[in-house]
Amino acid sequence: MKKIYLLLLFVQLLFISKTFAQYPKMDKLLYGVAYYDEYMPYERLDQDVQMMKACGINVVRIAESTWSTEEPQDGVFDFTHIDRVLNAMQKAGIHVIIGTPTYAVPTWMVKKHPEILAITPSGQNQYGARQNMDITNKDYRFYAERVIRKIMEHVKDNPAVIGYQVDNETKAYNTAGPNVQALFVNYMKAKYKTLDNINHIFGLDYWSNRINNWDDFPSMIGTINGSLGAEFAKFQRQLVTDYLAWQAAIVREYKRPDQFITQNFDLEWKGFSFGIQPDVDHFAAAKALDIAGIDIYHPSQDNLTGVEISFGGDVARSMKGGKNYLTIETEAQGFPQWTPYPGQLRLQAFSHLASGANMVSYWPWHSIHNSAETYWKGLLSHDFEPNPVYEEAKTIGKDFDRLSAKLINLKKKNDVAILFSNEALSGFKAFGFGWGVRTGYNDVLRQFYDGLYHMNVGCDFVDPTSKNIEDYKLLIVPLLYAAPDSLLQRLNTYVKNGGHIIYTFKTGFADENVKVRTSHQPGIINEACGIYYSQFTDPGNASLKADTWNLKPEDKKLNTWMELITPTTAKVLAYYDHPVWGKYAAITQNNYGKGVATYIGAITTAAVTDKILADEVKAIGLWGDDQQLAWPLVTKQGVNQAGKTVHYYFNYSAHEGAVTYPYGNGKELLSGKNISRGSNLALEPWGVKIVESN
């Protein structure tokens, strides 16, 4: 019996070792493009390969968008385009990342199984757009698994293939049809056991929403209950996590040990990559991957700030506990208003590396001549000829190649983290700040992130599942609207043990089921914050009364939301300037145990949050040489694989800039010049310098 038990244990451990992700060893920076031989208006593969080689492109990403070409009819497979590209790239010494083509379904599948098109709150999707299917549909899953296996069988032994991308910018796409509703009921049964629990926890007696029989469980499409709606959103995120793990497990059956699995996660979109993705639990979904991947698109020209590159990179790096990541998609030209000024493409590329990227890849190589993305331009314009952006990309490729050993696998250690929560985001989205207010979770989070970025303070991201929260000296906790008691108690303990924390309004308001706490607000953390409030309002003409920060009148303005705070043990950093509300505190700070908790009770200007951030960075001893610079001069650093510190200096400006180098002697890597402490580094408009210190 013991031998059988040990044998079963060995088999289980072997399964686990093959199922879970292994971080891949990388020894060369990847510089790449997405390439679609299927889209080309005429034969030019050899010419493209020659131009890629001249540009320093060493990896292409293929196949993720072209299921209908790879399987033109049910069960009929044609890998001609994949083979053509693989053969050409192998001969040229260019690596290939193969994407599973499952995010855009072919016409024959929908003709045969129209129910594959997702039913959403707006009705059933129509064919045409990508990502229009129900990722839980059993027929879709059958065809998806079949095409993945056929492709993997076909390409797995090709030496050019270094990795696989599962699906593409995956989300649940609002799928909410009867089959998804049935899955949700099963999920609720497993999690909450009884309807009495559900009715009590989610307050379903309101407006006669009480459910008295499992067969009567209503569709979530019409729910008015914010708690139940947030639970359904969590369930939909779990669908994404499970779906990607399912695909990764299939790919892992075939892939070689030297090949990796990744996914190109995207971010909340506001015309560009902006914030935490509401529809995906990135930290959970990334567990099935070997290496995290990210798509980062951002404004350019006079609106290029670098902050979206930094934000997306910090999120991606944090997905796998600080490990390096791949920038799988970013723009070369993109929208017409994004055509970069000279120097900006270089600035962007090295900015990705400075946040810990081991790959920078453009979408796409060639501009497309018809259909939906015709005017999203690639590295090459529609004429396929060399252009100024392509010529600049050639300089990046050469520098990536010669400096790979110095710049790859950059390790970053930060003492500041932002705690984000998908549950809080969903819960807050159900209620927000009131009717018609567009300010959202990510708007608040980004105000704090941007402030850190502008003062050159490195930042990681953590979520409620993170084991390393206590490792940071400063935590920023924006809009933690919905959270379990255990998390808030953990944060109290963090402060008591010496941590510094900055909370915003609406934190601790509701529990993990988006049920408002009946205690004093802010719930549970009022102990560490030394405050309470029971009323909140629109500021109207109220502003801040704060003399310590030397604020301009316009900096003191408030908008949208204010909590009427009464301190118990906290000191007041700012009161409200208002004939009625003036007796209440707006911003407080409290010593609790060995640490400090700061609470911001209103939506303030960025000037105010910047002052608070700077004070706390100084209080924890992080204000140093890098903070003598401020945006548009940006600096980032990390330790390379040789154990040397690499300092990046960026000028996000159309004007010349200069930096006095404050660290030990080293070498400026782009020019090869020796640099000594106190040297002046001139930064041309949109310029970059990289110093490896000895």
Write out the DSSP string of 267-292.
-EESSSEEE--TT--HHHHGGGSSS-
- The CATH number that applies at residue 535 is 3.40.50.880
- The three-state secondary structure class of 119 is strand
pTM of the entire predicted model: 0.96
**What's the Cα-to-Cα distance from 185 to each of 190, 221, 228, 237, rounded to whole Å?**
9, 13, 12, 15
- pLDDT averaged per 10 residues, the chain (length 694): 38 42 84 97 98 98 97 98 98 98 98 98 96 98 98 97 98 97 98 97 97 97 96 98 98 98 98 98 98 98 98 98 98 97 98 98 97 95 98 98 98 98 96 88 98 98 98 98 98 98 98 96 98 97 92 96 98 98 98 98 98 98 97 98 98 98 97 96 98 95
Residue 163 domain-assigned (yes or no): no
Q: How many domains, in total, are found in the chain?
A: 3
Residues 484, 402: one domain? no
**What's the Cα-to-Cα distance from 141 to each of 233, 296, 581, 610, rounded to whole Å?**
21, 29, 58, 49
- The CATH number that applies at residue 649 is 2.60.40.1180
Residue found under tokens 């807050």: 428
Name the residue range of residue 270's domain.
Answer: 51-57+265-274+293-409
Taking alpha carbons only, the member of 649, 655, 690, 652 closest to residue 671 is 690
Residue 611 domain-assigned (yes or no): yes
Residues 395, 451: one domain? no
Residue 208 domain-assigned (yes or no): no
Which pLDDT score, from 0 to 100, does residue 2 have?
Answer: 38
**130 annotated as ligand-binding:** yes
What tokens appear for 458 in the block? 């490195």
Which pLDDT score, from 0 to 100, does residue 25 have?
Answer: 81
**338 annotated as ligand-binding:** yes
Burial state string for 183-205 with b = 16 or more CB within 10 A and e = fewer than 16? ebeebbeeebeebeebbebbbbe
Residues 439, 580: one domain? yes
- Distance between CA 644 and CA 329 in Å, rounded? 29
Residues 453, 568: one domain? yes
Domain boundary among 621, 645, 680: 621
Which pLDDT score, from 0 to 100, does residue 21 have?
Answer: 62
Residues 528, 562: one domain? yes
Which pLDDT score, from 0 to 100, does residue 615 have?
Answer: 98
Domain boundary among 580, 600, 621: 621
Residue 488 domain-assigned (yes or no): yes
Residue 458 domain-assigned (yes or no): yes
What tokens appear for 383 in the block? 């004429």
**591 annotated as ligand-binding:** no
Inter-axis angle of helices 2-19 and 226-254, nearest 10: 100
Residues 440, 403: one domain? no
Is the dihedral angle over the CA atoms 280, 284, 286, 289 positive or is it negative? negative
Torsion of CA 473, 475, 476, 479, to 10 degrees: -170
Catalytic sites, residue numbers: 169, 329
Residue 148 domain-assigned (yes or no): no
- Distance between CA 155 and CA 335 in Å, rounded? 34
Residues 471, 425: one domain? yes
Residues 444, 558: one domain? yes
Residue 203 domain-assigned (yes or no): no
Torsions phi, psi of 502, nearest 5?
Answer: -120, 115
Domain boundary among 580, 596, 621: 621
Residue 134 domain-assigned (yes or no): no
